[in-house]
Amino acid sequence: MISSTTILEELERHGYCASTTRGRSMEPLFRTGRDMVVIKKASGECKKYDVVLYRYPSGKYVLHRIIRVRENEYIIRGDNTYVKEHIPKEKILGVLERFNRKGKSHTVEEKSFKIYSRLWNFIYPVRFVFYLFYRCAAKAYRLLFKKKR
């Protein structure tokens, strides 16, 4: 991953930035260290399903998908997370333009990417229920079968 100062510098200087991905929040689309993204500098209004780059107050950069557009903010969630984030529109630094996944180059304009984006968002309620069931089952298992020291 490139340094945080470089991200801002590259976006300002060239209008885009390329980096490998880190973290699990956008799985299964991106895998840590395997996939590369090209982010273009944000200009104008973003749309639902755009994958956008923003920065937490702590300085950490995050790449998540817009799931709802409101007047002054975007509601965003990672493909592999279950928490919605409310991000002011002016905090968006960049928008995913293209990416390399498993060694193949893709753009966000490809039909397959658009289908994936909409389908993954559409099945969110089912994924969330499965996630809750899994967490409850794991907790019950630990309580029933935890080893005594």
- Helix/strand/coil percent split, the chain, to 5: 30, 30, 35
pLDDT, the chain, mean: 90
Mean pLDDT on 128-135: 88
**pTM over cut 0.75:** yes
Q: What are the residue boundaries of the structural domains of the chain, listed by start?
A: 4-123
Check whether 147 has a pLDDT greater than 80: no
Q: How far is residue 121's CA from residue 20's CA, in Å, rounded to a whole number?
A: 24
Q: In the CATH hierarchy, which fold is given to the domain comprising 4-123?
A: Umud Fragment, subunit A (2.10.109)
Q: How many CA atoms lie within 13 A of 36 on its CB side?
A: 9
Show the CA angle centred on residue 86, arms to residues 82 and 90, nearest 5°.
Answer: 140
Q: How far is residue 149's CA from residue 28's CA, in Å, rounded to a whole number?
A: 37
What is the pLDDT confidence band of residue 6, given thresholds at 50, 70 and 90?
A: confident
* Tens-place pLDDT, residues 65-120: 999 999 999 999 999 998 999 999 999 999 999 999 988 999 999 999 999 999 99
